Amino acid sequence: MTETQFFTASDGERIAFYIDDFTDPWTTPPVMLLFHSAMGNSQRFYSWVPGLARHFRLIRMDLRGHGASSVPPPEKPLTMARLMDDVEELMGRLGIARAHLTANSAGGYVAQNLALRSPERFDSLAVVGSTPGLSNTVYGWLPRIESEGLTTFLRDTISDRFDLASTDPAMVEWFLKQTAENDPGFVIRFIGYTATQEWSGELHRIRCPTLVIYPGGETVGSAHSYDSMRDRIPDVRMIEYPHMPHNIADMMPDRCVADILQFHRDKFGHPRG
């Protein structure tokens, strides 16, 4: 049903991944790859798995430096190409020729770039709270994380991520505990690198049907950061969650899954229902 596995990437890093498959055993389900946010890991999708894994062979990968994957040393370059290579090497290991891409926040940066680099391998793209590049305003985070520590910084800015009026305080504490498990040095490297990346000028090259779910009260940048996706991706469906801050994937998991499944029904006739 759910398996935890590891593979060694071509540059020697150990990458963790999880296969969730609750589909009918007499069928051949489509494959969906699922990527988490920066400072997160695949466990953050615990509430997504039941809805998606009933209809897809779901493969969650811990991005390098996150979760159970190894943390690359500072001297090893961190690039978007390397992050994408990890995914395509995993697909090769598992014999996956084609897949659907689904991702949250920074995981969506990798997913968008995969759709651009290897369009023949991906049938759809669905991203939640994921702009075409990370706003350079996050550079202000880095000295605070370095001086205050990751947990103190996140606790002080938690209202930028969660709607505290509607979020269980225990979820916030769980989120803080999980993010504290990250290597602070790698978090700074990862955020610093992704803040230099921007590909809105390439969005017109995304060929596959695309779903963009975004928070209307986006706090990592602004909701206007999604305008280029609406304007430039040829086959795109935009869904706004009004007034919500960034972490809609955590706060509203059932709605995210329902919207993703409806997108697949409309575009591919699967899953039925």
Q: What is the pLDDT of residues 35-85, one digit of tens each?
A: 999 999 999 999 999 999 999 999 999 999 999 999 999 999 999 999 999
Query: What pLDDT is recorded for position 272?
Result: 85
The residue ranges of every structural domain in the chain are 2-132+200-268
Which whole-number Å values give the CA distances from 14 to 5, 88, 158, 189, in the listed order?
Answer: 10, 15, 31, 18
Query: What pLDDT is recorded for position 12?
Result: 98
DSSP H or E segment with residue 112: helix 106-117
Cis amide leading into 209 (omega within 30): no
Average pLDDT over residues 181-207: 94
What pTM was computed for the model?
Answer: 0.96
Q: What is the pLDDT of residues 243-267, one digit of tens each?
A: 999 999 999 999 999 999 999 999 9
Decide: 241 and 252 in contact? Cβ < 8 Å.
yes
135 pLDDT above the threshold of 80: no
If one counts every other C-beta atom within 10 angstroms of the C-beta of residue 191, the result is 18
| DSSP H helix total and E strand total for the chain | 10, 8
CATH 3.40.50.300, domain 2-132+200-268, yes or no: no
